[in-house]
Amino acid sequence: MNDSKAKLKALRLTITERQTLLARHTRKREEPLPADFSEQAVELENEETMIELDLRLGEKLKLVDRALARIEAGVYDQCANCEGEIEAGRHTALPEAVLCASCAATG
């Protein structure tokens, strides 16, 4: 369990570092757009990609926080759906998993 907690905390740190980098990049956008239309299009598309990336990182962070809370509550290894045991290999691959492989496959 301590190994999973350490992995989740490391993953949480990685996610927050990436969010910080993305925030710096999107704040840079306060500069005026280039005069060339094609450059404007590329910059705006890049900004949309960065925003989408930030949203996905936020979703992943919520999953990691949920898993950390489940460790603290003593239910980390218990499937949130069927209440069966989450396989250790599943937590090795996806430390933020809250469903056993069977429930994840059907859900």
- Burial (CB count within 10 angstroms: exposed 0-12, middle 13-18, buried 19+), residue 94: middle
Nearest residue to 54 (alpha-carbon basis) of 25, 94, 29, 11 = 25
Query: How far is CA 35 from each of CA 22, 29, 40, rounded to the nearest angstrom?
Result: 24, 14, 7
Per-residue pLDDT tens, the chain, 107 aa: give them: 678 899 999 999 999 999 998 887 666 555 565 556 566 555 656 677 878 888 999 999 999 999 999 999 999 999 999 999 999 899 999 999 999 999 999 97
The pLDDT value given to residue 61: 96
What are the boundaries of each domain within the chain? 2-75
The pLDDT score that the predictor gives to residue 67 is 95
Six token digits for residue 52: 């989408």
For 85, list phi and psi in degrees, rounded to 5.
Answer: -85, 135
